[in-house]
């Protein structure tokens, strides 16, 4: 029996008596034992009672002096005024504002540049506890209407309503059963397009397939909405529509799951009769903006780092023109604003912005000296200004107003965190070799007063999937760890887009093991430099990052003292059977395909727990209303890990109520969660 990483001095835990059911299935010649499948019925009274017992046990460990001190600090830190990147409609300016005192940010508007800002919509009035949140906003082109969606208790389901801005009145328009959808306004502001799924009686777990694209005309009932597009033969497809600022054409983008490749169709007039432009899944085509006879697209066709196309619509037959070719560095984002194309490139995870004219001619580099992440640069073709934001792991957000004619910029907003002096903190970028020799970027951030020794608490964070880059950005969560005397280590694992499509492909499907090795070798690298040790390292990740943490702690249990998989995808053989899980097959593979099944089985956390290993102290977190990665993943993993654990290192399950996958979580619940996980981890590491 291996007792790797065992902590015999920690408190013994008496776990709930979790029943096991005899359930054996043979798939592709492999016998699969699933004794805790009954926990998949996560809304049943039996499972709810089991969750209550788990929370009671977790509370005994999480409630400690370190947790209480962190909570006090967080409440202090949170009382910070902050805004989102502004955007304009006509003469009006819109943004979210958070004064740090309310549960949710409020949506603000200025009627003119010199006008005083006022609250347009306050989601804190939606519920007393702040758990009904604002899901999304979309302002009409004429600036007179606001379509906004509401999320109840963190669910991905959205209910859309409409506010008459000038009269500050919510209209009778009501859209229900919308999910993973924007409200895309027509040019004349007469209504908007949205995606809708069929109504279900089991909203938190039923599969989400066969969406329909509708147009809602203001002042009408939802049952009168015009069906724009559906495909009854392909339930896995989903839709989005692009409306240019000028011109009678419309683009329909057709996607499958989380695969970023898409079909592209065009309707040349308001009939919305779409004809194919791109009719195979070979590349990504993202609409950036359009005039009466021109449209600009980002694409990765034959260009893993991305390129810009112009679609010429001036003749009877659309003509594609290669406008800005692929560069040495990947394009992180692209926008058409004013008379400019603004491309944000990633150079070893750091932003460098280049500005072009609409014919693709290079104008200038944005003369910005800070090292970190630049974002924003949105707007309309007629805008004279745009806004962008800068931050990194130790520098809070600063928003700048960019003059599109002179390319000069000035500070519009600077976030001030109480007690934070940026000069008192350090952040650096380094590289390490993964198991196969691939160089992986890693960012280290800490207080200048923190001594980097093998006793220093380390928080190792990663994601590694779905073409998502984890770039330097300021987070109150991360700052709390740094402020508490720890080192934040963020590894830019394969599976993301830090180095374009190549980086993504090297960490997806049959290459997924690379991601876990990258994460483990980040810990090895730090320990080899005597920056922390296996006794002081905590691993943290959410969603796909929760899978990362769980798989890595099982494969490399001797590298971590504490593991915190949050809202993780943990049963890789059944993830496709709930809500939108099937859509992740583009990154994970298809469990019904033998080759993919065997690969998934090789690392699926739920199926790779050994009864002869002492695993790190583990805090598994989820939410009872998470209808994206359903909580059954965490429930089953916790039950099996508790049953198998071969030492006294606790395996705890923390389940939040009235919260979902993360978006829209109230201030109070965010603070409670951060205090619990960091307080517990630091308490374990420091032996308190």
pTM metric for this prediction? 0.96
Q: What tens digit of pLDDT does each residue of 220-232 get?
A: 999 999 999 999 9
Nearest alpha carbon to residue 606 among 646, 565, 556, 570: 570
Cα(580)–Cα(157) distance, integer angstroms:
11
Instruction: Identify the band that residue 205 occupies on the pLDDT scale cut at 50, 70 and 90.
Output: confident
In 3-state terms, what secondary structure has residue 529?
A: coil
Cα(446)–Cα(393) distance, integer angstroms:
9
Q: Does residue 369 carry a pLDDT above 60?
A: yes
Instruction: Identify the band that residue 403 occupies on the pLDDT scale cut at 50, 70 and 90.
Output: very high
pLDDT value, residue 687: 87
Kindly state the DSSP code that residue 413 receives in the 8-state scheme.
E
pLDDT value, residue 48: 96
Kindly state the DSSP code that residue 366 receives in the 8-state scheme.
-
Tokens coding 360: 């693709």
Who has greater pLDDT, 419 or 621? 621
Cα(394)–Cα(421) distance, integer angstroms:
9
Burial class (CB in 10 A: 0-12, 13-18, 19+), 331: buried
Rounded to whole angstroms, what are the CA distances from 464 to 203, 220, 493, 536? 29, 44, 5, 23
Q: Does residue 593 carry a pLDDT above 70?
A: yes
Burial class (CB in 10 A: 0-12, 13-18, 19+), 349: buried
Tokens coding 493: 């694992």
Q: Report yes or no: 390 and 374 within 8 Å, Cβ to Cβ.
A: yes
Residue 688 has, within 13 A of its CA and on its CB side, a CA count of 14
Q: Does residue 683 carry a pLDDT above 80?
A: yes
Who has greater pLDDT, 517 or 127? 517
- What mean pLDDT is predicted for residues 236-257? 96
Nearest alpha carbon to residue 616 among 540, 515, 544, 675: 540
Beta bridge partners of 262: 255
Beta bridge partners of 399: 389, 413
Tokens coding 353: 């912005």
Q: Which domains does the chain have, with CATH numbers?
A: 24-76+419-685 (3.40.50.1820)
Nearest alpha carbon to residue 252 among 265, 235, 269: 265
Q: Does residue 6 carry a pLDDT above 50?
A: no
Q: What tens digit of pLDDT does each residue of 443-490 get?
A: 999 999 999 999 999 999 999 999 999 999 999 999 999 999 999 999
- What mean pLDDT is predicted for residues 493-504? 98
Which residues contact residue 14 at a Cβ distance below 8 angstroms, ignoring those fewer than 6 apart? 57
For the range 212-218, what are the long-range contacts, defined as Cβ-Cβ under 8 Å and sequence gap of 24 or more?
A: 212/239, 213/239, 213/240, 213/241, 213/252, 215/186, 215/191, 215/272, 216/160, 216/173, 216/175, 216/191, 216/192, 217/190, 217/191, 218/145, 218/162, 218/171, 218/173, 218/190, 218/191
Q: Does residue 10 carry a pLDDT above 80?
A: no
pLDDT value, residue 2: 34
pLDDT value, residue 317: 93
Q: Report yes or no: 324 and 360 within 8 Å, Cβ to Cβ.
A: yes
- What mean pLDDT is predicted for residues 155-181? 96
CA 81 to chain centre: 23
Nearest alpha carbon to residue 525 among 447, 445, 444: 444
Cα(629)–Cα(635) distance, integer angstroms:
12
Q: What is the CA radius of gyration of the chain?
A: 25
Q: Report yes or no: 572 and 548 within 8 Å, Cβ to Cβ.
A: no
Could you tell me if residue 210 is left (phi over 0), alpha (psi between -120 and 50 degrees) or otherwise beta? left
pLDDT value, residue 634: 98
The catalytic site residues sit at 543, 661
Q: Does residue 1 carry a pLDDT above 50?
A: no
pLDDT value, residue 302: 97
Q: Report yes or no: 352 and 320 within 8 Å, Cβ to Cβ.
A: no
Rounded to whole angstroms, what are the CA distances from 169 to 145, 146, 163? 10, 10, 6
Q: Does residue 8 carry a pLDDT above 70?
A: no
Q: Does residue 3 carry a pLDDT above 60?
A: no
Q: Write a three-state SS string for 178-238.
A: EECCCCEECCCCCEEEEEECCCCCCCCCCCCCCCEEEEEECCCCHHHCEEEECCCCCCCEE
Q: Report yes or no: 313 and 247 within 8 Å, Cβ to Cβ.
A: yes
- What mean pLDDT is predicted for residues 409-424? 95
232 backbone dihedrals φ, ψ, rounded to 5°: -70, -15
CA 136 to chain centre: 15
- What mean pLDDT is predicted for residues 598-614? 98
pLDDT value, residue 12: 77
Nearest alpha carbon to residue 67 among 652, 663, 658, 567: 652
pLDDT value, residue 131: 85
Q: Report yes or no: 489 and 459 within 8 Å, Cβ to Cβ.
A: yes
To the nearest 10°, report the CA torsion of 304, 307, 313, 319.
Answer: -60
Largest CA distance in the chain: 77
- What mean pLDDT is predicted for residues 602-626? 97
Q: What tens digit of pLDDT does each residue of 553-583 get?
A: 999 999 999 999 999 999 999 999 999 999 9
Q: Does residue 280 carry a pLDDT above 80?
A: yes
Q: What tens digit of pLDDT does each residue of 24-78 get?
A: 999 999 999 999 999 999 999 999 999 999 999 999 999 999 999 999 999 999 9
pLDDT value, residue 154: 87
pLDDT value, residue 11: 57
Tokens coding 318: 């659309």
Q: What tens digit of pLDDT does each residue of 12-27 get?
A: 799 999 999 999 999 9
Which residues contact residue 103 at a Cβ distance below 8 angstroms, ignoring those fewer than 6 apart? 124, 129, 130, 666, 667, 668
Rounded to whole angstroms, what are the CA distances from 271 to 226, 267, 344? 12, 7, 36
To the nearest 10°, report the CA torsion of 576, 577, 582, 584.
Answer: -40
Give the strand pairing for 617-623 and 562-566: parallel
In 3-state terms, what secondary structure has residue 113?
A: coil
Cα(395)–Cα(371) distance, integer angstroms:
10
Instruction: Identify the band that residue 4 occupies on the pLDDT scale cut at 50, 70 and 90.
Output: very low
Give the strand pairing for 458-461 and 537-542: parallel
Give the strand pairing for 537-542 and 562-566: parallel
Q: What angle do CA 154, 155, 159 make, to 5 degrees?
A: 110
Nearest alpha carbon to residue 331 among 323, 339, 342: 342
């Amino acid at each position: 029996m291996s007792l790797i990483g065992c902590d015999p001095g920690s408190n013994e835990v008496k776990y709930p008596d979790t029943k096991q059911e005899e359930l054996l299935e043979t798939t592709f010649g492999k016998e699969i034992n699933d004794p805790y499948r009954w926990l998949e019925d996560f809304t049943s009274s039996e499972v709810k009672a089991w969750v209550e017992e788990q929370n009671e046990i977790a509370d005994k460990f999480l409630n400690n002096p370190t947790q209480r001190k962190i909570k006090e600090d967080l409440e202090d830190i949170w009382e910070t005024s902050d805004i989102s990147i502004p955007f304009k409609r006509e003469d009006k300016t819109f943004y979210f504002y958070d004064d740090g005192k309310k549960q949710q940010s409020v949506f603000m508007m200025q009627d003119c540049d010199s006008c005083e800002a006022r609250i347009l919509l306050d989601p804190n009035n939606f519920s007393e506890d702040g758990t009904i949140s604002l899901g999304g906003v979309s302002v009409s082109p004429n600036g007179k209407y606001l379509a906004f969606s509401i999320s109840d208790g963190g669910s991905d389901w959205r209910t859309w309503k409409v506010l008459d801005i000038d009269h500050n009145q919510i209209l009778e328009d009501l859209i229900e059963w919308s999910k993973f959808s924007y409200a895309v306004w027509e040019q004349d502001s007469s209504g908007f397009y949205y995606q809708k799924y069929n109504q279900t009686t089991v909203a938190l777990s039923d599969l989400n397939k066969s969406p329909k694209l509708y147009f809602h005309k203001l002042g009408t009932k939802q049952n009168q909405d015009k069906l724009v597009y559906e495909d009854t033969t392909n339930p896995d497809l989903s839709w989005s529509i692009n409306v240019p600022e000028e011109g009678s054409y419309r683009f329909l983008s057709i996607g499958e799951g989380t695969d970023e490749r898409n079909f592209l169709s065009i309707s040349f007039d308001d009939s919305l009769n779409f004809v194919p432009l791109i009719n195979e899944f070979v590349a990504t085509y993202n609409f950036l903006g359009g005039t009466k006879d021109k449209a600009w697209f980002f694409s990765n066709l034959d260009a893993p780092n991305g390129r810009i196309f112009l679609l010429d619509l001036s003749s009877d037959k659309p003509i594609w023109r290669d406008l800005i070719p692929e560069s040495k560095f990947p394009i992180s984002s692209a926008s058409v604003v004013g008379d400019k194309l603004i491309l944000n490139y990633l150079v070893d995870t750091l932003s460098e912005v280049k500005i072009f004219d609409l014919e693709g001619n290079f104008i200038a580099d944005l003369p910005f000296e800070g090292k970190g992440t630049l974002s924003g640069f949105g707007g309309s073709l007629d805008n004279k200004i745009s806004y962008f934001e800068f931050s990194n792991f130790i520098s809070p957000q600063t928003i700048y107003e960019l003059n599109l004619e002179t390319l000069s910029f000035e500070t519009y907003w600077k976030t001030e965190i109480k007690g934070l002096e940026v000069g008192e903190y350090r952040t650096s970028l380094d590289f390490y070799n993964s198991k196969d020799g691939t160089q992986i970027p890693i960012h280290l951030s800490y207080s200048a007063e923190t001594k980097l020794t093998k006793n220093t608490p380390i928080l190792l964070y990663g994601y590694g999937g779905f073409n998502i880059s984890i770039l330097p950005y300021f987070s109150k969560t991360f700052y709390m760890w740094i402020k508490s005397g720890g080192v934040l280590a963020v590894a830019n694992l394969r599976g993301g887009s830090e180095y374009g499509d190549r980086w993504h492909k090297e960490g997806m499907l049959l290459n997924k093991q690379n991601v876990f090795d990258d994460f483990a070798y980040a810990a090895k690298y730090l320990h080899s430099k005597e920056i922390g040790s296996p006794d002081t390292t905590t691993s943290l990740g959410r969603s796909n990052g929760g899978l990362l943490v769980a798989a890595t702690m099982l494969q490399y249990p001797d590298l971590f003292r504490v593991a915190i998989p949050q809202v993780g995808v943990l049963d890789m053989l059944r993830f496709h059977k709930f809500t939108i899980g099937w859509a992740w097959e583009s990154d994970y593979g298809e469990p019904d395909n033998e080759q993919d099944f065997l690969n998934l089985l090789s690392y699926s956390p739920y199926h790779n727990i050994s009864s002869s290993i002492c695993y790190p102290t583990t805090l598994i977190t989820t939410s009872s209303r998470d209808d994206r990665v359903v909580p059954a993943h965490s429930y089953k993993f916790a039950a099996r890990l508790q049953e198998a654990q071969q030492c006294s290192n606790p395996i705890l399950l923390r389940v939040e109520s009235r919260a979902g996958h993360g978006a829209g979580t109230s201030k109070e619940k965010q603070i409670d969660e951060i205090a619990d996980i960091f307080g517990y981890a630091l308490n374990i590491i420091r032996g308190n």
